[in-house]
Structure formats: structure tokens, C-alpha cells
Amino acid sequence: MIIWLFISTGVFLGWSLGANHAVNVFGTAVASRMVRFRTAAVLSGIFVVLGAVLSGEGTTRTLNTLGAVNAIAGCFTVALAVGLTVAWMTKLTLPVSTSQAVVGGIIGWNLFTGSPTDTSSLSKIVSTWVIGPVLAAFFAFALFWLATGFLKNARMHILHVDAWTRVGLIIGGALAAYMLGANNIANVMGMFVSASPLADFSFLNMPSVSGTQQLFLIGGLAIAVGMYTYGERVMDTVGRDLYKVTPLAGLVVVLAETLVLFLVTSEWLEGVLAGAGLPTIPLVPLSSTQVVIGAVIGVGLAKGGRGINYRVLLRIAWGWVIAPVIAGITAFILLFFVQNVFEQQVVRRTEYRLDAAVMEELSRRGLDTTALASLSGASIEGASEFRQILEKQRSWTEAQMMELFTAAEVDSIRVDSLVALTRLDSAALSPGQRRALFAIHGTAFAHRWQLNRTLQQGDPAWRIPDAKGSEAAAKRMRGIYSTLYTVFQKR
């Protein structure tokens, strides 16, 4: 019961996201009266759950690098803060960006606990807040221009155009719902993954369902319920107030949204680009609200820019700005109350050790450890306490602080090669990698990087590629290491 109580805020956040983002899937179809709301809500629910369970892991990994909430009570509190922010802005009929609210909530947790924020991951996510709407506007502009040109030359009867548009809206909406689930489940349940309270589940001889997949299923169902129970209200703002959409414009908007979400969600596309030696697109939880707004603006520009309600657009943009700020402040305040009033552990207290091995590792990473000489051999418990001690020595950039935290964190790892092989895919490791793993069976490590370096010395295939065009291989190796950390960690 306690586990379900803590997960309940993720469910609430999923409901809020569904209520707010139903407009991004079938809003233009419903507003143009081509599809009934109930039909749209049922189709959206089915495909959003499928997308969440089958394709939700890629963007979740990126979100967790921003800041891993490592205690279930902390997950509960951050999700509550984000859910309240989204629900309040939904009540105001503002299509808020849930992605931005989640980022604000996680940064609020980082600030409260003293944990470093991965600025590289943050820059990737923030860049999509600009790139996403621009890409959507471009796709929508091009698709609308092509569609209108085709219809002029085809000279189809209006009834045939109407029928094909309706079919396109239904298919396009289903695809958009799938991509919404795959991309935005990270916003709903991503923060729970690091402290997942659910164990892997298997039934008879069927493949086991991981705790993460169970979280994604719960979150996907919550999104579906939100779409059905409250999504119709927000549709009025985009579908009727921002721009008076036609059925054709509605289809173009949905297709443009689907294309953009596919680009930033598909691990398959990432693998194809990496295999061809081309730059890959970061897999990040994108604001589907911003994408749809961008697509709507693109259609409006294709029609000469007439009919766009710029006052409503500015009102929506204002919501995007304040959402992460409100979510971050709310998370910080709620974390204080949950920890100090309700006496719940919102952060797992981690030990950080600055022994000789860590000092050498920091020097290898290019950090000047002169200012840390007085702390040599020190052991500090708690991220906030560790940060305060480091800041007393000298000023550090957030990137440097991230290196200090990852090098000094004590993780208490003991290698069990037999268990590791049962958790990894049989084809995941080469014979040389297996030999290197078996060679250190039973060995204990205080830090993750020590395990990494020992394996890489045993076989070079354990190295994480850093050459251009090797993003897919690097991601695969990071996934293997992540599994090893989980199964080797002492409980």
C-alpha cells in the first residue's frame, strides 16, 4: 500500500498530462468536427499505452541523466509538484509544456538535495524547446503546401476529399498518440525509474516484465484516463482560439507532430544514422504542446499568416516560461515539508570519498585537485554536505561539480558474473568480454569507474566508444554498464 501511495503522484501526473495533451493528438480533428471526442479519446488511450510500454526507454534515460531522484519519497514529492503545476495550468486552459514542468521539478530536487545538474543533458533538452516548434512549423508549412497543390491538380470531389481527410486524421492521430506515449512517458514515470519499487514480474514461461515496464504501463493508463476525462476542455484553446483549423489543416498538424516526435524518440532511427556515420538526434522528452503550436503556426504561415490569434499565442508562450519555474519552486517547498514535517526520506544519503584513488581519477579527468589537498582521505555523507565542503575550497562550474560527484560517489559493488549473464542478452557480450568479467568474479569495488577501468583493462571491447559516428555503440555499452551496476550493487 505504501508503494502505491508513493506511485500515486506519478499516476496523477499522468492524468494531468493526458488531460492537457489530448489536444496534441486529436485536438485539431475534434475541433474541425471530423472525429467525435469519444472516438478520439479511446483511440488515443490504446495507442498511448502501447507507445509508453514498447518505446519509452530512450527518452527516459536522457531525463535521468539530468538528475536521478534516488528515493521513492522524493519521486512522490517531485511528481506531485509537477502534477499540481500542470493541473493548475490546465484549469486555466493553458496548454502547458509538461516536459518543462518536469525539468523544473527535477532541478528543484537537485537544488534541495545539493545534487549536481548535468548541464550537457539540460542543454540538449532545452534546445528542443526551440528546435521542436521550428521543425514542426517547417514540416507543417511544407506538408500543407504539398497537400493543397495536390488537391488542386487532382480535382477530387469534395466528398472524397472529406472522406480521405477523415481517414487520415484517424490514422495520423493514432500514430501521434503512440509517439506521444513513447516520448512523454519519461515525463510521467521517468523520475521513478532510479528508485523503482517494483520488482521484475514473470508469469509461467512468458518473458518477464521489468519494473520499469510496469511503471510505464501504469503511467500510460493514467495518461489515457486523463485524455478521456478532461482532455476536451483544453482542445478549445488550440483548436478554436489560436487558429481556426480546417480538416486538412488538422491532418497536416498531426502529421507534422508525429514526424517531429519520431525524430527525437526513435532508437531505430538513431541506430540507422549512427550506422551510416551520420550525426544522431538526441532522444529527449519533447514538449508535444510546443510541437503542435509550431505546426499550427506553420499552417497559418502557409496560408499567408492571416487568422492567427497572436494574443492567445503569447498567452500560451507565457505559460511555457513560468511552468518550469513554478514546478521547481513547488518541488523545493514540498520536499522541505515532506522531509521535515512528515519525516520521509526524500533523498538516499550517499557517501562520497576523496581517497588517493579518487584524487588520481579526478586528475586523469583534467581537474585541478590542488584545492582538495586538505580533504584527502575525507569521507562525507550526503550530497548537500559534500557540495558545501567542495564550494568552501574554491568555485566550481556545474560540469566540474558533476565530475567530482561521479568520481567520489561510493557505490559498494561486488561482481557476480553469473547473475550478470542471466540479466544481459546472450549476444550482448563477446567471448573476450565474458572472460574479463569472469576474471574479476567476487571482486569488490567502491566506485563505478573502478569497475569500468578494470573491465577495460581485461578486454578493450569493454571501452565505451567516443569516436564520431559511434553513438549507437556507445549507448549500447552504457546500457550494459547500467545493468551491471544494478545487479552488482550491495543491498
pLDDT in tens, 48-89: 999 999 988 888 888 888 888 889 999 999 999 988 887 787
State the Cα–Cα distance between residues 309 and 140, nearest whole angstrom.
Answer: 18
User: What local confidence, expressed as pLDDT, does residue 25 receive?
Assistant: 87
For the segment 212-232, the average pLDDT, to the nearest whole number, is: 90
State the Cα–Cα distance between residues 84 and 86, nearest whole angstrom.
Answer: 6
Give per-residue burial for 337-368: e unless 16+ CB within 10 Å, then b: ebbeeeebebbbebebbbbeebbebbeeeebe
Contacts of 46 (CB under 8 A, 6+ apart): 174, 177, 224
Is the Cα torsion angle 214, 217, 220, 224 positive or negative in sign?
A: negative
* Integer-rounded Cα radius of gyration of the chain: 24
pTM of the model: 0.84
- Secondary structure of residue 94 in the 3-state scheme: coil
Tens-digit pLDDT profile for residues 256-272: 999 999 999 988 888 78
pLDDT band at 491, cuts 50/70/90? very low
Contacts by residues 393-400 (CB-CB < 8 Å, ≥ 24 positions apart): 398/116, 398/117, 398/119, 399/119, 399/120, 400/367
Q: What are phi and psi of 291, to 5 degrees?
A: -65, -45
Query: How many Å separate Cα 351 from the centre of its chain?
Result: 27
Give start and end residues of each alpha helix (H) in 265-382: 267-275, 288-302, 310-340, 356-364
Q: What are phi and psi of 382, to 5 degrees?
A: 105, 130
Average pLDDT of the chain, as a whole number: 86
